[in-house]
Structure 1
Amino acid sequence: MESKSHLTKNYIFRKSTAIVLVLILMTSLLAACSKGDSGSDSDNRVLRVGFLYSSADNEQYLRQQYTDSFELLNPDIEIQIVSAMNYDDQRYEEYDPKKKQPDPYESLKELLTGKNPVDVLMIDLGNMKRLVKDNMLKQLEPYIQDSEFDIQDIVPTVLEGIKDAGEGSLYGLAPTFSSSALFYNKAVFTEAGVPFPTDGMEWNELFTLAKRVTKGEGKERKFGLTFSRYGGDPYYDTQNYAAPLRLKVWDDKGEKMTVDTAQWAKVWKDVLPLYKEKIIPGQQDMNIDDGAMMEKRAFNPFQGDMFLSGRVAMTIGGYDYITELSRAKSAAEKNKNITPVDWDVVTVPTFPEEPNVGGNIYMNNLMTINAKAANSDDAWKFIEFNNSKEWAKLKSRSTYEMVSRISFLKPKDGADYNIKAFYTLKPVPPSDTDNERLYRDKPNIWDVNQYGSQLFMEVIDGKKSVEEALKEWQTKGDALLQKMKEDPQASIHTLNGGGVAGEIYK
């Protein structure tokens, strides 16, 4: 039996301990109350994250996509989302052609240099390139080295594309990217006895394959190729085809045409036979059933999608197209009247002048640090988290884009296809021409492109040679650009008095 003195000591010890715990609890509660009363927390830090466009409607999406998880793991950091331009400012405002439209790039610079600048700026590759030239962003290499952040697992061509736009240095990281590849229908090639396309092909090789698998007439014709899954306009197909060559329609100031050249002539001559020989379907081929709209015909859930309908052997499609192809396969398992496409992908063909560039790779969520960031350490912490393997593992299951971590780039839903085709090529470097500004300052400069489209159709119809069409485009495009220099609101339709419109449409 314990002695009375020992029991007394235990009682005193337990009572003292209880008093200490109560005091600690009361201190915590008082601190919490004090913090709540003041509405501030001296330990909390603010991280301002800027976007080019936002609004009250889509801020929730931006938080779900990029900031909620980070704030959950970093409760001492408060994220403030800031936008350079608000969608609602234009949504509820009637368009006035005489009113000068805001310059998005100048608005971005204001985010970086204003009274309360952002710490992180999320932008596209083109704007990053311009901001780097203006010395407004921080290089990320020092942060990567200090934190021993692993970039070896990031898609090499993504990193190379970012460095190309950053004059050889890394000024941003992109957690995801979008890309395209060449989809092909295995059955069409097998039936024609033609070998499948392969990675690393050049465009002339692809065009030869497309010609070999083209056959049939009318509704039964199988076409070799489309530049997009829904077909397109012949003129804009030439623009997309030539994108890696970085040819320009006009100079950087939008005052002089640059199309009467041997390079543009070759581009037109490359694409021209594909339309003349109906290797690529024209609009009349895609709408071949329009005349029978009132007649009863078989249900076709793939109407308008020539590849899914089995009428095109090859098409260029984005990574998100895989979801549509998977849906079609699932539907075919339930409906015997639906025939799914047995497909695979290879890299988009390239030019010998630009052997590793293509695939329509876009990075619209590049995360960069303001050169004048007030909280650059947390800015890097934010970028590090959103570009981590942990983030990529989570988002690889839920995003329509591709994550930039190779470890988590795997075919969807257990499918078997050549996923490397989507990330083998480098993105086309951003243009030095600020076309967005030109379209804003000269809203009718679009007329120049429209005239080029008209001339290309005349070449297809045999009314003009390629050289004649390009020379005419150069001459009359120059005339219209000069008129726009004098009057930014000038257009083909408003120049009748000056004679330019009449000349263009003669």
Structure 2
Amino acid sequence: MSVKRALVASTVMAAMLLATACGGGGKSASQTENGEKGQPSAPDITKTPAELNFFTMAGDTDEVFNERFGNSIRKKFPNYKINYIRAQKGSTLPELLAAGTTIDIYYDSIGNFSEGLLVNRLEYDLSELIKKNSVDLNRFEPTVVDAMKQISGGKMYGLPVYMNNLALFYNKAVFDKFGVPYPKDGMTWDETLEIARKLNRTDGDKQYIGLAVSGSHMLRMNQFSLPYVDMQTDKPTIQNEKWRRLYQATIIDPAQDAGYKAKITELKNALPYRDALTKDQYLGMFVFLSQMPFTVPEMKTMNWEMVSLPTFKELPNVGSQSYPSYFTVTSLSKSKEAAMEVLKYLISDEYQMEISRKGTMPVLKNEAVQKAYAQDTEYKDKNFASVFYNKFAPISNKSIYDVAVEKTYTKDIGLIAKGEIDINTAFRNAEEAAVKAIAEAKNK
């Protein structure tokens, strides 16, 4: 190539490079990672100081809040001031709102979430924040997301952070005493009842009982996904035949032994409860929340184990509904972005693994997180895999009347078990009381 031609070629190449640099063929220093020319990157909201007020109607102590949430949140977000307002006399939710107190993050179990959030008009649809922050709802146990969409009318008024379900706990000493084989994962209610009958006996002056359930939890988290109230009509659903099936299998059938009925009378027409299993230790099996080992200190005093909730033969492999607790950013918050950062952390793999290891049931489908459940606790060798053994039943529709209606459904549960009130009469009475309770709630 001649010198002249070489000079022309180099001049053209230089011009092309200059045009590329000036014409946007590559990113200039002023361009962001998203390719937006001339726009600075969005500031990291976690670096900006913020003050966030938390509230739940559950009335947790400061120590409980800090142990479960506060300490971890403050460590993760050192620029945020985290305040917890305890629900108690003088600081109920209506009182706080009347005083002009801002609640940034409200949280509660699904049973109270609607009453606290919707009745006090604190709901805020998180859908846009969920989209903006690329929150993947497919990471969660599907039933807890579906339930929130039902509560929100298709929106998302909250995100699940932890949950509970029902499990069957048993006292190994009672089984050993009478030489009865231990329960196993995957049993049906019929199979469990056969075992229970072998434990309904008197030894000396002590009456032993085979099986009892927590009535309120059994109904609230029932495997048939029955709601307390018809969402279309605001009428109680107690006359549904599936309610009859549930009462029969879990409340009436276990109590047919004469000694069992005498024990109910002794308990002032109540079913045997937690103390019967853990403290007095005359109860062989008890259905309760899977969280029981971490909330009932008396579990330390007995030789216990747990298995999956028994199933109905017409619903194979379907356990109880989950009982999630949701966190949300309220409509009052002036720090919604910062509050959402906290919610994102609470549903992260990092935090979900932390609480799972400590014995709080996670809401993620993540198998590693589930397998870690309770592994940092003194009970790590117990059968905690049982809580994930069954499929979760779909969560029943929730109404703002559920708390009042549940009381009418459980009012005569001991008398029903004893047979002093037949189930037809009991259901009519419950229906009438529920209709009255709903009407009273509407007139408030």
Shift of the alpha carbon at 1:182? 0.7
Shift of the alpha carbon at 1:347? 1.1
SS at match of 2:210: strand
* Alignment map for 1:130-169 (pairs within 5 Å): 136-139=124-127, 142=131, 145=134, 157=141, 160-167=143-150
- Counterpart in the other structure of 1:277: 257
- Count of matched residue positions in the alignment of Structure 1 and Structure 2: 376
* Alignment map for 1:30-45 (pairs within 5 Å): 44-45=48-49
1:460 aligns with 2:419: yes
- Larger radius of gyration between Structure 1 and Structure 2: 1
CA distance in 2: counterparts of 1:428 and 1:487, whole angstroms = 27
Shift of the alpha carbon at 1:420? 1.5
With over 3 angstroms needed to count, the CA separation of the structure-2 counterparts of 1:88 and 1:403, relative to structure 1, is same
- Counterpart in the other structure of 1:321: 293
Q: Deviations over 1:15-53 (max 9, x none)?
A: xxxxxxxxxxxxxxxxxxxxxxxxxxxx84325344244
Considering only aligned residues, what root-mean-square deviation do their CA atoms show, in Å?
5.2
SS at match of 1:87: coil
CA distance in 1: counterparts of 2:279 and 2:255, whole angstroms = 21
* Alignment map for 1:361-380 (pairs within 5 Å): 361-364=322-325, 366-370=326-330, 374-380=334-340
Shift of the alpha carbon at 1:406? 2.5
CA distance in 1: counterparts of 2:188 and 2:155, whole angstroms = 30
Asked if the contact 1:275–1:460 (Cα under 8 Å) also holds between the matched residues in 2, the reply is no
Instruction: Mark the runs of 5 or more structure 1 residues left unpaired by the alignment.
Output: 1-42, 92-101, 229-235, 289-302, 329-339, 440-444, 490-506
- Counterpart in the other structure of 1:202: 188
Instruction: Mark the runs of 5 or more structure 2 residues left unpaired by the alignment.
Output: 1-46, 269-273, 364-368
Tell me the TM-score normalized by structure 1: 0.56
CA distance in 1: counterparts of 2:438 and 2:50, whole angstroms = 50
1:46 aligns with 2:50: yes
SS at match of 2:201: coil
Choose which of 435, 453, 469 in structure 1 pairs with 2:401: 435
- Counterpart in the other structure of 1:87: 88
* Alignment map for 1:42-441 (pairs within 5 Å): 44-53=48-57, 58=61, 62=65, 65-79=68-82, 87-89=88-90, 120-126=105-111, 136-139=124-127, 142=131, 145=134, 157=141, 160-167=143-150, 172-186=158-172, 188-189=174-175, 194-216=180-202, 219-228=205-214, 236=215, 240=219, 243-247=222-226, 258-270=237-249, 271-278=251-258, 280=260, 282-283=262-263, 304-307=275-278, 309-318=280-289, 319-321=291-293, 324=297, 327-328=300-301, 340-341=302-303, 343-351=304-312, 358-359=319-320, 361-364=322-325, 366-370=326-330, 374-392=334-352, 395=355, 401-404=360-363, 405-406=369-370, 408-411=372-375, 412-413=377-378, 415-424=380-389, 425-426=391-392, 429=395, 431-435=397-401
Shift of the alpha carbon at 1:351? 3.5
Counterpart of 2:436, as a letter, is L
Asked if the contact 1:275–1:282 (Cα under 8 Å) also holds between the matched residues in 2, the reply is no
With over 3 angstroms needed to count, the CA separation of the structure-2 counterparts of 1:164 and 1:275, relative to structure 1, is same
Counterpart of 2:398, as a letter, is D
Calculate percent identity across the aligned residue pairs: 17
Asked if the contact 1:255–1:485 (Cα under 8 Å) also holds between the matched residues in 2, the reply is no
Asked if the contact 1:171–1:368 (Cα under 8 Å) also holds between the matched residues in 2, the reply is yes
1:481 aligns with 2:440: no
Counterpart of 1:87, as a letter, is Q
Q: Deviations over 1:116-168 (max 9, x none)?
A: 97554323335667879x9832136535647xx8986xxx64x5323433258
